[in-house]
Amino acid sequence: MSTGLVDSASTNVLPLALDHLYPIAVRGDGVWVEDSAGRRYLDAMSGGSMALTLGFGHPEIVAAMRSQAESLAYVNGERFTNPVREKLARELMTVAPEGFTRVRFVGGGAEANEMAIQLARSYHVERGEASRWRVITPAQAYHGPTLGTLAMTGRPGLQRPFDPYLPSQPHIPPSTSHFDPSGQAALDALDQIIEQAGPETISAFFMEAVSAAALPGYSPPRQFWEGLAERRDKYGFLLIFDEVVTGMGRTGHWFAGNVTPATPDIIATAKGLGAGYIAIGAVLCRERVYEPFARGSRIWNVGHTWDGAPVQCAVALQVIEILRRDGLINRVRERGETLRRQLEDALRDIPMVGEVHGHGYLLGVHYVDPRDPSRFLPPELGVAGKIDREAMARGLITLSTMPTRDGFAGDQTLFAPPFITSDDDLAEMVSRFAATIRQVAAGIEPALRGPVTAGGTA
Ligand code: PLP
């Protein structure tokens, strides 16, 4: 412990990666984290998970939390409602896409996604269409680590070794700019699934409107959105958005679903709702999804201990108040475009950098093999891991992934700073990031001198 680093032999915690050395974070201030050895890290990832949208140590959130904990910290939803839950529900309806009227609170992202799936299924059952249960999703996705959400990704790398527990759900390939720029191949795959499975078995199409870690900053092309909306109307399934990351301003809108060409029927959200101060998620739906319950069984009997607890709702209400008052969502929308250009300019002359894209403060950097930019980097080089380690050494928190073996994407980095980051700190993040990428690119250069032998097509 004297180095200020914890390894798996010196802890009782079961860490995420047993070979990783973990610094001990002891305090946070704005967009800076400090560890027990006094090292400071600039947070380009909003608390590491994209949750901490308003930075560390926000005094108004702390005050709201404290005040609610003093008056009524917790009461279960089975016997009572509470004023903050009621108010939060009303507030969310004012920023959700038009036609949304109901919300159910949960404890986090995976819970929200699972409940969204349950809500869609129950909607069909209430309407007398009990054959509808399948949920179609884009394969290159991450929706959480629970068994229900792991079934919603088409990535064997994430599903193993839990695959025996996972119901088989159909997936379509993502229409990325290289594989399927028009989105037609994805629509053809969707048609094939609907035909083979039978439209009467499809409950929902489930997706991120703008992807986070799985395909940073990616959103499907317009033709895909329009084709998806047409098929939803024709076949009667629901459209669910996983807005666990994108909800509450991340893409420069309250919800990505406020502006997508196909409007969702159900939205699951989480991270930014509690802004990293408390675990809270929410499932929002249109009146037409709620209506069959109102006319039918009049019961929605699925819930968790923490659903809608006052202290959680008080934090979320304060988050909404700050986002509104400080105009932060407009800032993310406008400043995000400049940030994307800053990143592009800083990385332009590095041959392994393929694309920089995204919306608001949800940006992705995608890497390619410099010898043949139509291919991903060879996975054995472990570039994503190298980037995150080098960035940490330079005092920058990033999140890179390498789903190359799943076949749809290569090494990539997500860039998702807190909304309150100053222009100077954004510039410093970009500068540290560019230095990181240069260093890693120089380090792998000798390994890339030979002919292209491995790595998938980019
Ligand atoms: N959906 C997306 C898009 C995510 O990025 C995550 C987490 O990173 C989840 C769902 C799961 O959320 P949670 O970790 O709160 O369960």
| Dist CA 188 CA 458 (whole Å) | 21
pLDDT of residue 453: 63
User: Using 50, 70 and 90 to split pLDDT, how confident is the model at 4?
Assistant: confident
Q: Which of 42, 94, 55, 80 is nearest to 317 (CA)?
A: 94
Counting from 1 in the atom list of ligand 1, the atom nearest the Cα of 246 is 3
User: What are the structure tokens assigned to 41, written together?
Assistant: 């890290």
Asked whether 399 and 412 are in contact (CB, 8 A), the reply is no
330 pLDDT higher than 80: yes
**Is-contact 303 77, C-beta < 8 A?**
yes
Residue that has been written with the tokens 């694309």 in this structure: 355
Residue whose C-alpha is closest to residue 384's, from 404, 370, 357:
404
72-325: which CATH number, 3.40.1050.10, 1.20.1260.10, 3.40.640.10, 3.40.920.10? 3.40.640.10
Our mutation pick for probing the ligand 1 site, out of 150, 208, 215, 244, counting the most ligand atoms within 8 A of Cβ, is 244
Q: Whose CA is nearest to atom 13 of ligand 1?
A: 109
* CA–centroid distance, residue 3 to ligand 1 (Å): 32
Mean predicted confidence (pLDDT) in 355-378: 96
CA distance 411 to 367: 6
Answer whether residue 2 shows pLDDT above 70.
no
pTM: 0.97
Choices 3.90.1150.10, 3.20.20.70, 3.40.50.450, 3.20.20.150: CATH for 5-57+329-448: 3.90.1150.10
SS3 per-residue string spanning the chain: CCCCEECHHHCCCCCCCCCCCEECEEEEEECEEEECCCCEEEECCHHHHHCCCCCECCHHHHHHHHHHHHHHCCCCCCCCCCHHHHHHHHHHHHHCCCCEEEEEEECCHHHHHHHHHHHHHHHHHHCCCCCCCEEEEECCCCCCCCHHHHCCCCCHHHHCCCHHHCCCCCEECCCCCCCCCCCHHHHHHHHHHHHHHCHHHEEEEEECCCCCCCCCCCCCCHHHHHHHHHHHHHHCCEEEEEECCCCCCCCCCCCHHHCCCCCCCEEEECHHHHCCCCCCEEEEEEHHHHHHHHHCCCCCCCCCCCCCCHHHHHHHHHHHHHHHHCCHHHHHHHHHHHHHHHHHHHHCCCCCEEEEEEECCEEEEEECECCECCECCCHHHCHHHHHHHHHHHCCEECEEECCHHHCCCCCEEEECCCCCCCHHHHHHHHHHHHHHHHHHHHHHCHHHCCCCCCCCEC
pLDDT at 457 over 80: no
CA distance 428 to 221: 32
Write out the two tokens for 169: 């759900």
Ligand 1 centroid, distance to 109 Cα (angstroms): 5
Q: What is the pLDDT of residue 178?
A: 77
Q: What's the CA-to-centroid distance between 301 and ligand 1, angstroms?
A: 24
Q: What atom in ligand 1 is closest to the CA of residue 271? A: 15
pLDDT band per the 50, 70, 90 thresholds, residue 456: low
Atom 2 (ligand 1) nearest CA: 143
Does 443 have pLDDT greater than 70? Answer: yes
Task: Please list every protein residue whose CB sits less than 6 Å from any atom of ligand 1.
Answer: 49, 108-110, 113, 142-144, 208, 212-213, 242, 244-245, 270
Whether the CB-CB separation of 95 and 254 falls below 8 Å is answered with yes
State yes or no: cis peptide before 23, omega within 30 of 0: no
Nearest CA to ligand 1 atom 7: 144
pLDDT band at 1; cut points 50, 70, 90: very low
The tokens for 243 are: 């807005």
CA distance 46 to 35: 16
Give the mean model confidence (pLDDT) for residues 161-187. Answer: 94
Ligand 1 midpoint to CA 260 (Å): 20
| Residue closest to 23 by CA, chosen among 425, 15, 31 | 15
Distance spanning both ends of the chain, measured CA to CA: 42
Residue of 105, 117, 142, 208 best suited for mutating to test ligand 1, as the one with most atoms within 8 Å of CB:
142
CA of 103 to the centre of ligand 1 (A): 18
- The two tokens of residue 69 are 């904990």
Question: pLDDT grade, residue 78 (50/70/90)?
Answer: confident
Q: What is the pLDDT of residues 127-173, one digit of tens each?
A: 999 999 999 999 999 999 999 999 999 999 999 999 999 999 999 99
Strand partners, 415: 363
Span 431-435, average pLDDT: 98
Around Cβ 1, how many Cβ atoms within 10 Å? Answer: 10
For a mutational test of ligand 1's pocket, the pick from 271, 278, 399, i.e. the residue with the most ligand atoms closer than 8 A to its C-beta, is 271
Give 2 or 355, the one with higher predicted confidence: 355
Share of the chain above pLDDT 90, in %: 94
State mean pLDDT over 185-191.
Answer: 98
Task: Categorize the per-residue pLDDT at 458 as very low, low, confident or very high, splitting at 50, 70 and 90.
Answer: low
Query: Where do the structural domains in the chain lie, given as residue ranges?
Result: 5-57+329-448, 72-325
Let me know: does 95 contact 328? Beta carbons within 8 Å: no
Which residue minimizes the CA distance to atom 1 of ligand 1? 143
Spatial separation of the C-alpha atoms in residues 233 and 58, rounded to whole Å? 44
- CB contact set of 283 (below 8 Å; sequence gap of 6+): 103, 104, 106, 112, 115, 116, 119, 266, 267, 268
Q: Which ligand 1 atom is at minimum distance from the Cα of 211?
A: 3
Residue nearest to atom 15 of ligand 1 (CA): 109
Query: To which residue do tokens 């399927």 refer?
Result: 180
Ligand 1 centroid to Cα of residue 50, in Å, is 9
Question: CA 204 from chain center: how many Å?
Answer: 19
Distance, in Å, from the CA atom of 147 to the CA atom of 380, rounded to the nearest integer, reads 29
CB 155 within 8 A of CB 141: yes
What's the average model confidence in pLDDT over 226-239? 98
- Alpha carbons 114 and 300: distance in angstroms, whole number: 14
- Site to probe by mutation for ligand 1, drawn from 143, 266, 273, 414 as the one with most ligand atoms within 8 Å of Cβ, is 143
